[in-house]
Copies of this chain bind each other. A is one copy, B any other.
Amino acid sequence: MSHGLTFSASARALTAGVALMVGGLASPAVAEEPTLSEEAFEASKQVYFERCAGCHGVLRKGATGKNLLPEWKKTAADGTVTEGGTLKLGQERLEKIISWGTEGGMNNFSDVMTEEQIRDMATYIMMEPPKPPEMSLEQMMETRKVYVEPEDYPTEPLHGRNWENFFVVIERDVGKVAVVDGDTKEVLAHIPTGYAVHVLKASEHHKLEEPENPGRFWYTMGRDGKMTKIDLWQNPENMLVAEVKIAYDARDVAVSGDGKYVIGGGYWPPHFAIVDAVTMEPKKVVSTRGVNVDGNYVEEARVAAIYTTPNEPTWIVAVKELGQLWQVDYTDIDNLGITKIDSAKFLHDGFFDPTGRYFQIAANASNAMVVVDSKTHKLEAIIDTDALPHPGPGANWVDPNCGPVAGTTHLGVGLVTVWGNDPEGHPDNAWKICYETETDGAGLFIRTHPTSDYIWADQTKHPEPEVQQSVQVISKETGEIVKTIQITEEEGNAAVHFEFNQDGTEVWVSKWNRSTSLEPNGEIVIFDAKTLEEIGRVKGLYAPTGKFNVYNRSNHVT
C-alpha cells in the first residue's frame, strides 16, 4: 500500500491507549490492572528496548529469554496446555527477577537500573506490549549520510601502514569501533557507529567474483539498526565514509561476494534490507515475518545473523524464530531468489567449514548445530548437542582421529563440542560428535588458526568472576585443556572473544570493562600463539569485545 497510515500504527496507538485507559477506570473488575503514567510507560519502553528486547523480543514473545506477555497459553503436541504470564508472577516477584536474575540465565540488572526503573519495568511487562512502527524504504533513504563521496575515495592506502593486519574492534558500550594497527599495536581511531555494534563484516575474497580490494571496506551494524561504512585506506580521521539506518533494532550485516551490496538484518521491523555497498543507498526490503517450522505464524521473526557464502552468489540469512535459513541470491535483486531452508529454532550464529561449502549454525534453543549445504541450497544435517551452543565466529581444524572438525562453545554449559565436518573425505565422521571437552564455564566464543596447535574458549557466561575472567586453551592433538589463563582480576571485567593476527603468531583476547566505565581503560591482552605467554597489551580502548583481523576475515581463515 502506498499511503502513509498503516494498521500497525493505529493498533499501536490503540494498545497504548488501552493500557492507559484501563488504569483510569474505576470498575472493580479492572482496578488491579497494572498501570503507569504515560511518562513512565515511555521510559520503560525505551529501557525495555535497550536492555530486554534482545533476548525477550520487542513483542515479548521470548526467544533466548522467556515469554514476557501478561498472559500466555501454550499447547504441546500431545495436547498438554501450559499457562503463564507476567500477571501471574506479579509485581514483587518480577522486581526480584529483574534485580537479581535467575539461575535460568537471566542477568541481574540491580547495578544498571535504578530501583524506580526496576519497579516500573515490572509493571510495564505486565501491560500489553506496544507494537513498534514499520520502516519503509523511503524512511531508510532519509537517514543516509555520506561523509566522503565515493569519487573522493583514495586509490591507495593513505597512511602507508600494513592495513591487512589492522584489527577492527567493537567498543560495545560506547557505540564505537576502534581501528588498531596489528603490527604496532597503536589505536588509530575510535569511529562512531550505531549503538552497541553486534557484528561487522568486510568485503571478502570470493570464489566466483572478487570484490575490489577485499578487506578494505568494513560495514558495521548497531543494535539501533544503523549501518556504517568504514574505509581502511583513509587516514584515521576520515575512515567513516557513510551510514544509513535500516531498522530500529538489528544485529547483523554482510557484504555480497562481488562487493556490490551490503545486506542488513532487522530484529524490528523483522526484515532485511539490501543496500548499495558503494553509495549506501537502500535498494530493497524483504520482510522475514513468516510461518515457522512448526506451522505457526510469527510476527517477530527476527534476522539473527547473515553470512556471505564463499562459493555461491548468495547470502545466508538466519531467521531466528522461524527456524529457517534463507539462502538469498543477490545476482538479480528485482527478481530475488530465496530458498527457505527448514531447520530448527532458534537460530543464532554460525560459520563456514574450510571449503566454504557447508554452513554450520547454532539453533541454540533446540540444543543443536544445523548444517546447510550452500551448493545445493538444502539442509545437510542437524547435530544434537548439549545446552545452547554458541560458536561465535567458530573454529575449524584437523583432528588426529576424526579428520577435519569444527567446534562450538555453549551458553548453557561449560563445554566445547567438536564434530566432523568433511563429508567427502571422512563420511563416517561427518556431522557426528567427535568429542566434547568440559571447560570451567559457559562461554560465548571459540577460535583457532590453521598454524596454531590450540583452540581457545572463553567462559564469559559463568556467574563467578574468576571463571568469567579466565579463558581456556585446548590442545588440537589431545582435545584436553592445556592451560587456563586469567585475563583480568578487575571487578566487573570479563574476558571475551579471540582473534589471531594476520600470520597466526598472536592471539588477541578482550579484557572487557563493560558499561561499568565509559573511560577508555579497556584492554586487549595479546598472547604468543605458541608459548601461550602474554606478549603485550593494546590499551586505551572503550569496552572492547569482538575483534576482526582484516586478513583473516577477508580470507575466510577460521
Contacting A334 at CB < 8 Å: which of B71, B75, B291, B379? B379
> Distance (Å) between the CB of A374 and the closest chain B CB?
12
Contacts of A104 in B (CB 8 A): none
A268-294: CB near B (< 8 Å → 1, else 0) gives: 010100000000001011110111101
Question: Contact between A321 and B1 (Cβ–Cβ < 8 Å)?
Answer: yes
Contacting A340 at CB < 8 Å: which of B336, B341, B345? B336
Q: Which of A282-312 contact B (CB under 8 A)?
A: 282, 284-287, 289-292, 294-300
A71-94: CB near B (< 8 Å → 1, else 0) gives: 111110000001000000000000
> Distance (Å) between the CB of A227 and the closest chain B CB?
17
Given contacts A131-B11, A296-B137, contact A62 B1 (CB under 8 A): yes
- List the one stretch of A15-23, A35-43, A452-460, A522-530 in contact with chain B: A15-23
Cα A321 to Cα B6 with chains together (Å): 14
> Distance (Å) between the CB of A479 and the closest chain B CB?
34
Contacting A291 at CB < 8 Å: which of B3, B73, B271, B295? B271
Contacts of A134 in B (CB 8 A): 296-297
Question: Contact between B335 and A338 (Cβ–Cβ < 8 Å)?
Answer: no
- A129 lies within 8 A of chain B by Cβ: yes
> Distance (Å) between the CB of A493 and the closest chain B CB?
36
Cα A432 to Cα B1 with chains together (Å): 28
Question: Contact between B291 and A332 (Cβ–Cβ < 8 Å)?
Answer: no
Contacts of A297 in B (CB 8 A): 6, 8, 134-136, 269, 271, 285, 287
Give A72's nearest chain B residue, CB to CB. Answer: B5
Given contacts A271-B291, A287-B290, contact A335 B74 (CB under 8 A): no
- A476 lies within 8 A of chain B by Cβ: no
Contacting A14 at CB < 8 Å: which of B4, B6, B14, B72? B14
Given contacts A285-B291, A291-B286, A341-B335, contact A7 B131 (CB under 8 A): yes
A310-353: CB near B (< 8 Å → 1, else 0) gives: 00000000000100000000001011111111100100000000
Question: Contact between A14 and B5 (Cβ–Cβ < 8 Å)?
Answer: no
Question: Contact between B14 and A377 (Cβ–Cβ < 8 Å)?
Answer: no
Give A301's nearest chain B residue, CB to CB. Answer: B287
- A61 lies within 8 A of chain B by Cβ: yes
Cα A394 to Cα B62 with chains together (Å): 49
Question: Contact between B335 and A295 (Cβ–Cβ < 8 Å)?
Answer: no
> Distance (Å) between the CB of A401 and the closest chain B CB?
32
Of A3, A17, A67, A138, most B-chain CB atoms within 10 Å? A3
Given contacts A136-B297, A290-B287, contact A337 B334 (CB under 8 A): no
> Distance (Å) between the CB of A223 and the closest chain B CB?
21
Contacting A129 at CB < 8 Å: which of B7, B298, B334? B7
Question: Contact between B289 and A287 (Cβ–Cβ < 8 Å)?
Answer: yes
- A515 lies within 8 A of chain B by Cβ: no
- A10 lies within 8 A of chain B by Cβ: yes
Contacts of A50 in B (CB 8 A): none
Question: Contact between A67 and B15 (Cβ–Cβ < 8 Å)?
Answer: no
- A433 lies within 8 A of chain B by Cβ: no
Cα A328 to Cα B177 with chains together (Å): 42
Question: Contact between A334 and B342 (Cβ–Cβ < 8 Å)?
Answer: yes
Contacting A1 at CB < 8 Å: which of B284, B296, B335, B379? B296
> Distance (Å) between the CB of A187 and the closest chain B CB?
39
Cα A197 to Cα B73 with chains together (Å): 35
- A263 lies within 8 A of chain B by Cβ: no
> Distance (Å) between the CB of A510 and the closest chain B CB?
34
Question: Contact between B71 and A5 (Cβ–Cβ < 8 Å)?
Answer: yes
Contacting A337 at CB < 8 Å: which of B11, B292, B338? B338
Cα A21 to Cα B19 with chains together (Å): 13
- A69 lies within 8 A of chain B by Cβ: yes
Contacts of A137 in B (CB 8 A): 291, 294-296
- A155 lies within 8 A of chain B by Cβ: no
- A260 lies within 8 A of chain B by Cβ: no
> Distance (Å) between the CB of A51 and the closest chain B CB?
21
- A128 lies within 8 A of chain B by Cβ: yes
Contacts of A185 in B (CB 8 A): none
A-side residues, CB < 8 A to B, are: 1-8, 10-11, 14-15, 17-18, 21, 59, 61-62, 67, 69, 71-75, 82, 128-129, 131, 134-138, 140, 269, 271, 282, 284-287, 289-292, 294-300, 321, 332, 334-342, 345, 376-379
Known A140-B295, A289-B290, A337-B340; 15 more pairs at CB < 8 Å: A1-B298, A2-B74, A3-B61, A5-B72, A7-B69, A14-B14, A14-B128, A21-B21, A134-B297, A135-B297, A282-B295, A284-B295, A287-B289, A336-B339, A336-B342
List 15 A–B pairs whose Cβ atoms lie within 8 Å, in order of A's numbering. A1-B298, A2-B292, A4-B75, A7-B59, A7-B129, A11-B11, A135-B297, A136-B296, A137-B295, A285-B295, A286-B290, A287-B297, A334-B378, A336-B339, A336-B342
